[in-house]
Amino acid sequence: MIRKAFIMKVYPNKHEEYEKRHNEIWPEMLEELRKHGGRNYSIFLDKDTNQLLGYVEIEDEEKWNQMPKTEINQKWWDYMKDIMETNPDNSPITKDLKEVFHMD
């Protein structure tokens, strides 16, 4: 199992909408995340900085890296682009974090 953490940014006035959309996440999106080896996925919000900390456990980097190419993922990015910072392809602007400590 591989632990991944990353930072994204939601617009200041879109915190509630971001949470609402994730509370109503499409079942087919969850299914695809699982199919690509994602487990124990969490996103946390720092309201002061608008930063989102994502954490996910994956089985395999190569398998996980195929997720952005899926139709449902592309649709999700399009759905989310109006409430968070994104790249020209609608993917969230992310910064991967390096794990420096872990305790089981």
Backbone angles phi, psi at 3, to 5 degrees: -95, 130
Question: Is residue 36 annotated as part of the catalytic site, yes or no?
Answer: no
Q: Which of 15, 22, 36, 102 is catalytic?
A: 22
Q: Which residues form the catalytic set? A: 22
